[in-house]
Structure 1
Amino acid sequence: MALDEVIITEAIASEYFRKFKESLSLDVAIVGGGPSGMTAARKLAQAGCNVALFERKLSLGGGMWGGGMTWNMIVVQTESKHLLEEVGVPLKEYKPGYWVADAVTATTALASAACLAGAKVFNCMSVEDVVLRESNGVKRVTGLVINSSPVEIAGLHVDPVTIASTHVIEATGHAVEVLKKLVRKNSVRLTTASGGIEGEQSLWAEVAEAHTVDNTREVFPGIWVAGMAANATFGSYRMGPIFGGMLLSGEKVAAEILVRLRAG
């Protein structure tokens, strides 16, 4: 078979922009492709939602890729291991309650499962702002302002484009990038004690794992925090290379958003 390079280019452009056009008006936009974001994307897509995930880097996975200190194994606790088992990741019980998995297997399985469920993933895509609207005196995030990550890295003056979304999940991890933009640019208060981003505390795995799930919630109308972004928002601890709380946070945020969507 003879290959035509133009047809190859045409196929890529045609199918990419079909996917992009289908994502201009979303049920849920997820910012950040770590374990919580990928889990939420899978759960929401399986429920029939129009969901897209935006990741600024070339690859998904966040901190899960490297395990601990580039030793690419991860730990999850018994309460969360079902979320890896659901996507076919082999687990080994190291000691009672502590389950070990290969980090590369876990990361690729979570990403693949989200895509196969119907979530649309856009890598090399940065979120530079949110869309904010006010109705009856209530401000709400109604979409994202996105740009190419290479444009951002190069510092080029290229205008972004926008997508609409009923709900946005902030899952950018320690950096809390989306919320920082929202708070810095607008006179708004979050549902934290101070009304702002409380900031992350030092490592305390036991407390941090529980708080990651507890702090997963809507923090401003239209925007939810999940994963490490939840603890950074509400002033809790970091946890290191144990990822059960991250996975459970993704499961929780998906379930709570589904309730909202179904209620209309």
Structure 2
Amino acid sequence: MELDERRISRVIIERFMEKLLDSVDLDVAIVGGGPAGLVAGRDLAMRGAKVAMFERKLSLGGGMWGGGMMFNEIVVQEEAKGILEEVGVRTVPQGDGYFSADSVEAVSTLISAATRAGLRVFNCVTAEDVVMREDRVIGLVITWTPVEMSGLHVDPLAIRSRFVIDATGHDINVVRVVERKVPGRLFTPTGVAEGEKSLWCHRAEQLTLENTREVFPGLYVAGMSANATFGGPRMGPIFGGMLLSGRKAASMIWEALGGR
């Protein structure tokens, strides 16, 4: 068979457009492709939700790729290792309830498991705004990340979603948008994003899970976004809280969807 460049291009364009057109109306839109977002996306897709992920970078995985200071090993605690193991990531006991895993294996396996479960991924796409009706987030405004980076004046597109998860980590990009549009209306003690505190692994891991919740009608926070929104500390290269947070967010949203 002689390869035809036109045919190759046509397949790519047609397949991408099929995915994009079928994602204009979603049950759940996840912004940010780190560990919390990947776990939430996999869990929701496995339950039958129509869910898509929008990641501004070329690759998914957030900070998990680099482990600690580019030593590509991660640590999880007993409560979270099962999430890695159920998708096939090997964990190694290190005593005292600590388990290690190769960060490259962990990220690549989580991505594979999530996409195979049915999560649609749109990388190099930035959520620059939200769609709102009657004080509720009902979707995202998206554009290509290179367009945003270059400052080109190009109008974006919009998608509808019954729920949105901000899993953008330290930057809490979606939360910050909502905070600007409706000041003082977040479900935090002060009505605004509290910002993350200094590193404290133990407390941060606890609060990551506790702070995973709805922060504005239709908008949930998960992973480091939860702590950055509600004022918890950062935790460094231990990722159990991230994984558990993604699972909690998925469960809460599935219940809000009616558990169908």
- Listed one character per residue, the Cα deviations across residues 178-232 of structure 1 (whole Å, up to 9, x for unaligned) are 1101111234511101000001000000000010000000010000000000000
2:186 paired with 1:179? no
1:60 maps to which residue?
60
Q: What letter is aligned with 2:215?
A: V
Q: Distance in 2 between matches of 1:127 and 1:254?
A: 20
Give me the whole-angstrom Cα distance separating, in 1, the residues matched to 2:244 and 2:182: 31
Q: Which structure 2 residues correspond to residues 1-264 of structure 1 after superposition, within 5 A?
A: 1-134=1-134, 139-187=135-183, 189-262=185-258
Q: 3-state DSSP class of the match of 1:239?
A: coil
What is the deviation of 1:96? 2.4
Residue-by-residue CA offset, 1:14-56 (whole Å, 9 max, x unaligned): 0001000110000000000000000000000000000000000
Sort the Cα spacing of 1:263 and 1:70 in 2 relative to 1 into closer, same or farther, 3 A.
Answer: closer
Displacement, 1:257?
Answer: 0.5
**Residue-pair matches, total:** 260
Q: Match of 1:234, as an amino acid? A: F
3-state SS in 2 of match to 1:41 = helix
Calculate percent identity across the aligned residue pairs.
Answer: 58
Give the distance between the partners of 2:83 and 2:23, measured in 1 at CA. Answer: 26
> Normalising by structure 2, what TM-score?
0.99
Return the letter of the residue paired with 2:204.
Answer: A
Report the aligned-residue RMSD: 0.9
* Structure 1: runs of 5 or more not aligned: none
The 2-side partners of 1:177 and 1:261 are apart by 24
- In 1: Cα distance, 2:176 partner to 2:54 partner: 17
Q: Secondary structure at the match of 2:139?
A: strand
In the alignment, the residues of structure 2 paired with residue 16 and residue 97 of structure 1 have an alpha-carbon distance, to the nearest angstrom, of 44
Q: In 2, distance between residues paired with 1:148 and 1:263?
A: 33
- For 1:230 and 1:108, the matched residues in 2 are separated by 24
Which one-letter code corresponds to 1:68 in the other structure?
G
- CA–CA distance in 1 between the matches of 2:234 and 2:13? 41
Distance 1:240 1:197 in 2: 20
Distance apart, 1:263 and its partner CA: 5.8
CA distance in structure 1 between the aligned counterparts of 2:198 and 2:96, rounded to whole angstroms: 26
Kindly report structure 1 stretches of 4+ aligned residues shifted beyond 3 Å: none
Query: Do the aligned residues in 1 keep the contact of 2:31 with 2:37 (CA within 8 Å)?
Result: yes
1: CA distance, partners of 2:255 / 2:216: 17
Q: TM (normalized to structure 1)?
A: 0.97
Q: Match of 2:87, as an amino acid?
A: V
Question: What is the one-letter code of the residue matched to 2:92?
Answer: K
